[in-house]
Structures are given as C-alpha cells and as structure tokens.
Amino acid sequence: MTGTIDIQIDKIAKSRVSEYDVNNVPFGKCFSDHMFVAEYADGKWQKAYITPYGDLPMSYAMSALHYGQAIFEGMKAYKNAQGDVSLFRPIENFNRLNRSALRMAMPEVPEEIFMGGLLELLKLDSAWVPTSETGSLYIRPFIIATDEAIGVKASETYKFVIITCPAGKYYGEPIRVLVETNYFRAVHGGVGFVKAAGNYGRSLFPTKLAQAKGYQQVIWTDSVTHQYVEESGTMNLMFVIGDTLLTPELGDTILSGITRDSVLTLARDWGLKVEERKISIREVLTAHGNGTLKEAFGCGTAATIAHIVGIGFEGKDYDLPPVEQRKFSTKVDEMLRNIRKGNVEDKFNWMMKVV
C-alpha cells in the first residue's frame, strides 16, 4: 500500500451477529454489521467512512440506474482453526476492479482506500466470518455512479462501497450445462473482460431459457461463430482432455478469473500439461466421443469448482464421467480449500492475514 487513509468509524451500538448462525445462513441475504463507503466528487476521492449496514438514500435520477455505470467485485475471507481471518489474493480483486473502472469511464480507487477500507471493515466484522470447513465471508466491493442527472454521460460523482455477507456451508452440486449458440455474453471491443453490472443482467434471459430445459447454466460461445467456448455462467471453463488441462485463452470477451489463475498455477506446479487457447465445442465433443474427455468444470469464487456432468448441444445431451473419477478437479478443489483454511503451506503467498 502507498499510504493510509482517514476512515471515520461509526460503530453499531449492538452487533446483530448473535441473531444468526453464520455457518448456516442462506447466501447473499444476511449482511454483516458494517459497510465501508468512500465518496468521489470534484475529481477526487473525498471522505471515507464505516457505518452500520443500511440503505442507500438516492434519487430516482441516479445515473447508475439509467446508464449502467456500475461495477463490482466478488471475493472471500476465511477463518482458520485458530480463528485468524485471511483474504485470498485481494490485490487481484483490487486490480480487476480498477480495470473495470477504467473501461466504464469511472474513477479508479487508490489501493489505500480499497485495502484500507477492507481491512478495517473485516477487523470490525470478523465475528461474521463462518468457521465451517467450506464457509467464508463473501465480500462485495462495488462502485456506482451517483449523479442526479438524466443525460448520457459519465457521472461526476461516485460511491465505492464494500458490503459483506456470510456464506455458510457451500454444497457445490454438479451441473448440467447447455451450449448457447444464439445469445452471447460478450463481444470483441465490449465489456466481457470486466465486471460491469450489465454483463450479468444480459445473461439472465438466456440462462432462464436453459433452466426451463433442465440445465443449470449455459456455456457461452464466441459471438462471431458460436463455435468456440468461452465461459460457463459466471465461471471460467476448464477441461481435462487426455493428460492436458485446457481452458479458453483470455481476451476481451473473457473475465480473468482469480480462481482460474489459481487452478492453472497449481496445475503447472504439479507438472500437468496446461493449454490456454481457443477450444471449439466440436473438439470437446470429439474428445467425449473417443473417451479422452475426463473432466469438465467451471471455476470461480462462489463455487471454487463446479463439476460439469452433462453438456447439451444442438438437441443432444452428452453425459460426462462421474465426479468420483475426477482426479484433477477434486484435488485442486481440496488444495484451494486447504490453502484458504490455513491447513497447508501457502506456497504462493496467496493469503493475506487480516486479524
């Protein structure tokens, strides 16, 4: 960090944490005691404060609502057996938030505001971090445009906010996915490589159609030919074909996932052959046909690893090997959990201790 910031702290009178079993709350609906806010106006970040979690007073003309200048991050804090709280690779989320800000003509957040606010918030709300083996505190940093003005232009005022919510036990069910060849998630020159709120809004309708057909998620394909796979839902996509771990190469249509990078780093460390390149759905189905497609999975902060057990393509379903036979994805899932929970050596210095 380059410096420190003054954060005005208004503590909650009485913590609400005892009202919940943080290891067993439904995800995304129960928010921790405090939130961090920094305000941007007159060309610079102004005051920063921590306040009890609450509502946003806003105008119906607030520009984020109309023109979509809204970006976010998703990250997690973990508690080890000794009760220490640590973040997983937070600088990567900080850097990605600023890539999103740049692309959406929004102000970048200085590291001392992002990290300073985050660390202070987690110190106050450490009791909200679940202790269960698969539990974590989900952290949602975001920036929204707050000008009260109708008219398409970059807002002049913004709020950077961090809210958190416990994610108790996570049961990652294997998923069936439909290869989407009509709608697309991202285009070249677009915003698919950043976490702009609109990327998620646009994905809901195709996902709903796939769910009506019995799939949990879609596999997004490239917008030009619909032949090359890109991501699955809000996860990066990986395959084990033969003895190689394959994943689509990064570009401006794919989000650079921190889990993706972590999985690739571990795979390379274990001596596995890794290829980041274009992967056609035909290649995947040919491998399925000749028995070399051993594993397929999505990876991301929410699930870590979501095993794909079925792929739907052009009206046909292709069943994949059962999860019990998947050596790599099971091992990498376990290793990431153990690193985050402090059960094994943190060889790549991924964890940042908070309290």
Ligand X SMILES: Cc1ncc(COP(=O)(O)O)c(C=O)c1O
Q: Which of 235, 284, 303, 336: binder of ligand X (CB under 6 A)?
A: 235
How far apart are CB 72 and ligand X at their closest, in Å? 9
255 binds ligand X (CB under 6 A): yes
155 binds ligand X (CB under 6 A): no
Nearer to ligand X, 7 or 162 (CB): 162
Nearer to ligand X, 97 or 284 (CB): 97
- Cβ atoms < 10 Å from Cβ of 244: 14
CA distances from 93 to 48, 100, 218, 278, 353 (A): 19, 10, 25, 25, 16
CA distances from 106 to 5, 41, 71, 190, 219 (A): 21, 12, 9, 16, 30
74 binds ligand X (CB under 6 A): yes
Q: Which of 245, 258, 264, 293: binder of ligand X (CB under 6 A)?
A: 258
301 binds ligand X (CB under 6 A): yes
Nearer to ligand X, 63 or 301 (CB): 301
Contact characters 192-211, ligand X, x per CB under 6 A: ---x----------------
Q: Are 34 and 121 in contact (CB under 8 A)?
A: yes
DSSP string computed for 275-329: EES--BHHHHHHHHHTT-EEEEEEEETTTEEEEEEEEEETTEEEE---GGG-HHH
Side-chain half-sphere exposure of 208, counting CA atoms within 13 A? 6
How far apart are CB 161 and ligand X at their closest, in Å? 17
Nearer to ligand X, 174 or 198 (CB): 198
253 binds ligand X (CB under 6 A): no
Which two three-digit tokens encode residue 340? 């985050």
- Cβ atoms < 10 Å from Cβ of 112: 15
> Stretches 208-216, 229-237, 316-324, 346-354: which one binds ligand X (CB under 6 A)?
229-237
Nearer to ligand X, 208 or 316 (CB): 208
Which residues sit at the interface with ligand X, rule CB under 6 A?
A: 74, 195, 231, 234-236, 255, 257-260, 300-301
